[in-house]
A and B are shown apart, each in its own frame.
Chain A
């Protein structure tokens, strides 16, 4: 994409576009800014002048959420569940993706067809049977059940994504490793892993965002308030304290913090994942 293309608008004509885009960006940024500012004031202060800056800044909302409504614990619970699910997905999808991309596999067409056909399965179709299956296995209300569901729903896309990523690794490299006597795991560890590292990182970020933000399974599979994850905790708090906007805003910011940090520091990976998301 060079700048010399004559079919583009002149720099002068680009100014109105730039300003227009700034306005559009403001519609995204301002609500978030409003949430952050609101979270740092008392309810009285908010009602007096919601659009101005707080008269006295305070973090009591955060302390209240953390101490009294179990948001701190929920945050750690979410961190644990998301990290575990993503770790399992990465390991299993790397194995499967590498095999489907580079190794002969019995019935590989059948496997691929299965993964692709369940990839777009809507969550609502699964909630009742998954709840009943996990209940039968006795793991409703246990993180292992929820993690299993996240792994199962995340794997199809993960395998698809890594199969595409690993296909780009040159066969000569793998052949050379084989000649050198490297076995399956050795090749995976010293060639496939490093060569596909950015793809794996992209996948890790996308899957982490997905599990961190997930609501419906977290809601129904972990009914115990002590074990609640962050997203359902936030949803419950938001529904309960309709008239205390500063308090719910603090909850919103805590929930949004991790995704926003990821977007800030890993936007390169997220943007790359987007392109592949399109090609499916």
Chain B
């Protein structure tokens, strides 16, 4: 028994060393860096200076506000995913094929999806060409911040709704079919069943989808912003994760970028804790 305990531990150890060395340690290192002024070679202890600078930095305020603007995508994605999942759940002919189609954007890189949208809304892109068919002059969508944000939101919805409708579909499939039958026998119509059985039964999956969408808007917009708008015009579409990148590789103080990353880390941690609470409730499913 002791022998096999040693073998088991040795089998886990290589993975642990790599994960500890290149994920856990870097996070702690980021904490340290955030208290210093550094160019990567010398570290100058500055205490809370970086944090104070961040809280009084108007660009950071604007960028944080931008992230909240991107939250508009959350209800849009969830609503379209919900509609699709409920319709898929009717299991009409070929629904399995649709499942694969809806999943398709999810296997593509954000760079690919982002460029498809950038191209489509470019000066000689498909959208302008289409508007041109009705005699409209081509527009420069990306010099306008509202259009730029809308285009990124559109990319988010397009690439996100399919996967999430499959998550919701998994939730729907786990509802006991007897409940539906009983309701049908009691004379409840389709809409009534949707409202009183289907939706209440997937509220936990809905909660999960809600949280991952918010996490996504705060921590994973880098790719879209990078290829679609590069944060512009000005800082109008720059998100926190993109600002971390900008600060890290275009300024001479990595400490400031690290402090921003640490704040993002706590924010994400808070949301994850919230998600875990949602999941505790779900244990008995």
Instruction: List residues of A whose CB falls within 8 A of some B CB.
Output: 1, 3, 5-9, 13-14, 17-18, 20-21, 24-25, 27-29, 31-32, 34-35, 46-47, 50-51, 92-93, 95-96, 98-100, 103-108, 111, 114-115, 118, 120-133, 135, 148-149, 151-153, 155-156, 159, 184, 209, 212-216, 220, 231-232, 234-235, 238-239, 242-243, 245, 248-249, 251-252, 255-256, 259-260, 262-263, 267, 270-271, 274-275, 278
Contact = CB atoms under 8 A, between A and B. Distances in A.
Interface residues of B, number: 103
A124 B262 CA distance: 10
B252 interface: no
B4 A104 contact: yes
A159 B109 contact: no
A96 B15 contact: yes
A14 B264 contact: no
B8 interface: yes
Contacts of B226: 215-216, 235
Interface string B30-50: 100100000010000000000
A128 B101 CA distance: 37
B274 interface: no
Nearest to B34: A128
Contact of B119 (A29, A106, A209, A245): A245
Contacts of B107: 209, 213, 259-260, 262-263, 270
A212 B108 CA distance: 9
A105 B222 CA distance: 39
Contact of B244 (A32, A92, A104, A127): A127
Contact of B222 (A98, A107, A124, A239): A124
Chain A residues touching B, majority SS: helix
Contacts of B25: 129, 133
B105 A28 contact: yes
A8 B184 CA distance: 9
Contact of B264 (A107, A124, A148): A124
B149 interface: no
B231 interface: no
Q: Which 5 A-B residue pairs are closest in the complex by CB-CB distance?
A: A103-B8, A213-B109, A122-B219, A152-B22, A129-B26
B87 A17 contact: yes
25 contacts: A17-B87, A18-B93, A24-B102, A28-B104, A29-B101, A35-B116, A99-B8, A106-B8, A106-B9, A123-B222, A124-B241, A128-B30, A129-B30, A131-B248, A135-B40, A152-B23, A156-B23, A209-B107, A231-B111, A238-B114, A242-B118, A245-B119, A271-B166, A274-B103, A274-B170
